[in-house]
Amino acid sequence: MAYAITRTCCNDASCVSVCPVNCIHPTPDEPEFGTTDMLYIDPVACIDCGACADACPVDAVFPVDRLRGPDTAFGDLNRDWYRDHPSDHAWGAPGFPRSLPDGLGVLRVAIVGTGPAAGYTAQELLRSTGAEITMIDRLPVTGGLLRHGVAPDHQSTKRIADSFASVFHDPRLRMHLNVDIGADVTHEELAAHHHAVVYAVGAAADRRLGIPGEDLPGSLPATAFVGWYNAEPTVPADAVDLSGPGAERVVVVGNGNVAVDIARILLTDPDRLAATDIADHALAALRRSRVREVVLLARRGPAQAAWTTAEFLALRQLPGVDVVVEDHPEVRAAIETAAPDSRAALLAGLPLVPFDGGAEPAPGRRIVLRFLSAPTALTGDGQVTGLTVARTTLVGGRAGDRAGDQGGDRAGDPTGDRAEPTGQTDVLRAGLVVRSIGHRGVPVPGLPFDERTATVAHHGGRVVDPGTGRPLPGTYVVGWAKRGPSGGIGANRACARETVDALLDDATARALVAPTASRKDFDRLVRHRRPDAVGLKELRAVERAERTRGEAEGRPRVKLATVPELLAAARGRR
């Protein structure tokens, strides 16, 4: 019986490299890899060896005959992918691990950030070279979006952190947490102590809607909402109110996987979340929550949805929650004429219902998918009470004139169609509006920044001066700070490989400047600037404290949610 890849696929392609018959596609060398939601096993070519299941860092691979409940759909999904993508299962030319020429000495690399892009970069460097690595993070705990972005009910995705834990504990790696590059230590100081610096700082800000009322209390960016339920220590415990006036309806603006995560967390039975590492304060608020309807607001149509198939299927199967689509002729037509594998086809069979956003939500818990609806203002006197929405219609593809940002340029968007207002508006009553319209990168002090893409200016991972196109010696970027905020955790593996290749090419070409001070000098500098910096030993203490609290409650961990609590645990005081 063949194996199949299921919902939690992280796309990091660990399975591809161990498959003896090359039956997992798209591979990182194939064009579809850049846009695919997940990887697929060809059931005809699979020899049932199970090597992919062993290699998968998120336990996403199972024999088809062991798939149960909602996961059974993935047997068909894997098989059907090969109907449209006949694949050549022959192996290409073999690749060999990178190595550095003799005589270069020990390469010292600093990585700023400890999220997935940083983890894959460190892993790649440690595996392929004898490099010594310094990892730095502004928070007193590692993980980036793995800890503070991945939803708590996606514990299997968080298992990638286990493979990074062995990287972080490598004797060639040092950790300096609670240290802010730019504020505590400058880029120049970091560069002076290392041959190379790799920035893996992600995209920390949110895109803005740019409409009146956006900053009213009760209007939150997705980063704040997600940080709140994930115990991100810069987000206060009381950042979200789910029991105030109008709390029965929440509007989530945006139609990507983050919006889906937020809708799911808002309506999942808190008893199920209680078995996860959700922040204690969020769990308590969800137990008190009056929310019973979440409206997912998309400015374009079903075919342009940004969520992935696997995440949407999971939303449809949320126990005790109805998923309905607001009835509208253009939406109905899009679903009825959808191509079999398209996003719109996933809506087939969902109830199409009239929706009055000015009325009280219907009884029961439900998610309303409202398409062709762009927010134009948030309303309320000192607190959000509603959202004015303009009805839109789709216009023509990539060739059409662009008038401002109206969609149509998202990576992976199959249509390129844009949303144009029809002139019709209405108001949705809601006590909470979450703006989940994508992250945005923020400039890194001392590095060139491309305002258009909100990424660090680079060529293939080498940071460049945008004026001259010349690389800044020894300076690299990886992850969302390099590619922009799209792609799941595993997409960072290929991205890290590209950046590490560029770095090693430069080392081989002797284009890197040798550090002018030692590792110990850097440790001293950090201790002087940040006496409360957290190292590996202290990080272990945090880990122990959280896991011990978790064991007592039958949970993977109970997260410490503030910087003082994390620092106290790091010093063994909890």
Q: Is 43 in the site for ligand NAP (CB under 6 A)?
A: no
Candidate segments 28-36, 329-337, 381-389, 481-489, binder of ligand NAP by CB under 6 A: 481-489
Q: Is 209 in the site for ligand NAP (CB under 6 A)?
A: yes
Closest approach, Cβ 149 to ligand NAP, in A, equals 7
Strand order, beta sheet including 386-395: 373-379, 386-395, 418-429
Q: Is 255 in the site for ligand NAP (CB under 6 A)?
A: yes
User: Of 195, 177, 115, which is closest to residue 516 (Cα–Cα)?
Assistant: 195
Tokens 């080392």 -> residue: 507
User: Of 361, 356, 351, which is closest to residue 324 (Cα–Cα)?
Assistant: 351
Burial of 351 (0-12, 13-18, 19+ CB in 10 A): exposed
By CB under 6 A, name the one of 304, 392, 455, 492 that touches ligand NAP. 304
Greatest extent of the chain over all pairs of C-alpha atoms, in Å: 74
d(CA 343, CA 301): 10
By CB under 6 A, name the one of 250, 306, 569, 570 that touches ligand NAP. 306
Q: Is 374 in the site for ligand NAP (CB under 6 A)?
A: yes
Candidate segments 63-71, 301-309, 316-324, 422-430, binder of ligand NAP by CB under 6 A: 301-309
Closest approach, Cβ 68 to ligand NAP, in A, equals 20
Strands 249-253 and 293-297: parallel
By CB under 6 A, name the one of 26, 143, 471, 487 that touches ligand NAP. 487
Closest approach, Cβ 486 to ligand NAP, in A, equals 4
Binding mask 188-207 for ligand NAP (x = CB under 6 A): -------------------x
d(CA 128, CA 199): 19
Q: Is 261 in the site for ligand NAP (CB under 6 A)?
A: yes
Q: Is 258 in the site for ligand NAP (CB under 6 A)?
A: yes
Candidate segments 182-190, 295-303, 460-468, 525-533, binder of ligand NAP by CB under 6 A: 295-303
Collapsed DSSP state (helix, strand, coil) of residue 25: strand
Sheet strands (E) in 342-460: 352-353, 366-370, 373-379, 386-395, 418-429, 432-435, 439-440, 449-450, 455-456, 458-459
Spatial contact of 460 and 202, defined as CB atoms under 8 Å apart = no
d(CA 472, CA 465): 7
By CB under 6 A, name the one of 110, 126, 191, 259 that touches ligand NAP. 259
Secondary-structure breakdown of the chain: helix, strand, coil percentages, each rounded to the nearest 5: 30, 20, 50
Length of the chain: 574
Q: How many residues sit in the footprint of ligand NAP (CB under 6 A)?
A: 30
By CB under 6 A, name the one of 60, 117, 160, 253 that touches ligand NAP. 253
d(CA 142, CA 175): 9
Q: Is 144 in the site for ligand NAP (CB under 6 A)?
A: no
Candidate segments 189-197, 266-274, 297-305, 519-527, binder of ligand NAP by CB under 6 A: 297-305
Spatial contact of 57 and 155, defined as CB atoms under 8 Å apart = no
Candidate segments 58-66, 163-171, 293-301, 351-359, binder of ligand NAP by CB under 6 A: 293-301
Q: Is 488 in the site for ligand NAP (CB under 6 A)?
A: yes
One-letter amino acid at 114 equals T
By CB under 6 A, name the one of 486, 515, 525, 558 that touches ligand NAP. 486
Q: Is 438 in the site for ligand NAP (CB under 6 A)?
A: yes
Closest approach, Cβ 398 to ligand NAP, in A, equals 13
User: Of 418, 477, 473, 413, which is closest to residue 450 (Cα–Cα)?
Assistant: 477
Q: Is 316 in the site for ligand NAP (CB under 6 A)?
A: no
Q: Which residues bind ligand NAP (CB under 6 A)?
A: 207, 209, 253-259, 261, 298-300, 304, 306, 308, 311, 374, 405, 407, 410, 413, 436-439, 485-488
